């Protein structure tokens, strides 16, 4: 199909869809009218049942915690897939330097930059941990806190340079964090089975409403998610930033081709 025919086909399809979309849109529940019984039941019942103030956390880590386990594994799976694609095409070598554009001078890093980055990275890490810890009381939780904590790693790259960053951020450790966080989640789900309860049963003491310790098992699940998300995003950053390093002399593709017989040309 030429682009013109493709657009024509798409336009025809959309024209046929338009009346249906309008009809459905007009029949939808009113905008801003919270009629969902399920949401209102959660708001009404769960503070009493689980002693938590943040209903989103209660839904994510307790009521529908099993969905979150699936989502968590999805993130882990996506990061593993990205690692396979990037690392497989690039080859895995430790003895390489940061890439730089020919002709552009390499200016030494100012002490102020290093200092600001070290301070800011520490603060970012602390902020991430704080957001994760307060998941049961205020908006936030393991997912958000993990992303914030991992993004602090970028400041390390900025402040310490490629070599420093590679020593400070070893990818096997990040992979171990990512995996063990998810294992902890699976254990939270699976261990109650041994005691004869349903999976993910919240058997820990529930704590006080609006307290840092509230929600029982949710705290463990939240910590597992924070650990795993930090590892996942850290690993993703490592893989993306490795793309900037200086390419090895011999293209890695040829070696790989001889080794395992698959075509590994980067196109």
Of positions 52, 156, 200, 225, contacts other proteins by CB under 8 A:
200
Element (H, E) at 31: none
Which of 106/263 has CB closer to other proteins? 263
Of positions 147, 183, 204, 241, contacts other proteins by CB under 8 A:
183
Which of 83/144 has CB closer to other proteins? 83
Measured torsion, CA atoms of residues 225, 189, 176, 129, in degrees rounded to the nearest 10: 30
How far apart are the C-alpha atoms of 87 and 264, rounded to whole Å?
Answer: 11
Does residue 248 bind other proteins (CB under 8 A)?
Answer: no
**Sole window of 73-81, 99-107, 134-142, 146-154 interacting with other proteins (rule: CB under 8 A):** 73-81
Which of 15/101 has CB closer to other proteins? 15
Measured torsion, CA atoms of residues 35, 38, 41, 42, in degrees rounded to the nearest 10: -120
Site for other proteins in 74-93 (CB under 8 A): 74, 76-78, 80-85, 88-89, 92
Does residue 45 bind other proteins (CB under 8 A)?
Answer: yes
Per-position x/- string for 225-244, each x denoting binding to other proteins as judged by CB under 8 A, each - no binding = --------------------
Angle at 79 between CA 73 and CA 85, to 5 degrees: 135
Q: Are 223 and 184 in contact (CB under 8 A)?
A: yes
Does residue 56 bind other proteins (CB under 8 A)?
Answer: no
How far apart are the C-alpha atoms of 240 and 230, rounded to whole Å?
Answer: 15
Which of 151/201 has CB closer to other proteins? 201
Minimum separation from the CB atom of position 113 to other proteins (A) = 32
Site for other proteins in 134-173 (CB under 8 A): 172
How far apart are the C-alpha atoms of 222 and 228, rounded to whole Å?
Answer: 10
How far apart are the C-alpha atoms of 257 and 15, rounded to whole Å?
Answer: 49
């Amino acid at each position: 199909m030429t682009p013109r025919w493709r657009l024509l086909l798409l336009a025809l399809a959309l024209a046929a869809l338009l009346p249906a979309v309008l009809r459905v849109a007009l029949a939808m529940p009113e905008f801003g009218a919270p009629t969902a019984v399920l949401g209102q039941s959660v708001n009404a019942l769960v503070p009493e049942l689980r002693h938590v103030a943040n209903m989103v956390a209660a839904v994510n880590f307790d009521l529908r915690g099993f969905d979150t386990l699936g989502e968590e594994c999805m993130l882990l799976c996506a990061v593993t897939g990205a690692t396979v694609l990037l690392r497989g095409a690039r080859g895995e070598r430790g003895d390489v330097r940061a890439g730089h554009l020919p002709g552009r001078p390499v200016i030494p890093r100012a002490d102020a930059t290093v200092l600001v980055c070290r301070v800011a990275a520490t603060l970012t890490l602390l902020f991430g941990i704080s957001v994760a810890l307060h998941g049961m009381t205020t908006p936030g939780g393991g997912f958000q806190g993990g992303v914030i904590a991992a993004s602090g790693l970028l400041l390390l790259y900025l402040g310490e340079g490629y070599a420093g960053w590679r020593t400070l951020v070893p990818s096997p450790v990040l992979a171990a964090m990512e995996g063990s966080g998810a294992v902890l989640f699976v254990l939270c789900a699976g261990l109650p089975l041994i005691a004869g309860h349903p999976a993910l049963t919240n058997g820990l003491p529930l704590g006080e409403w609006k307290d840092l310790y509230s929600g029982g098992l949710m705290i463990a699940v939240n910590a597992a998610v924070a650990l795993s998300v930090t590892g996942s995003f850290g690993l993703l950053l490592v893989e993306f930033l490795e793309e900037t390093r200086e390419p090895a002399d011999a293209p890695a593709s040829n070696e790989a081709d001889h080794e395992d017989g698959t075509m590994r040309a980067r196109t």
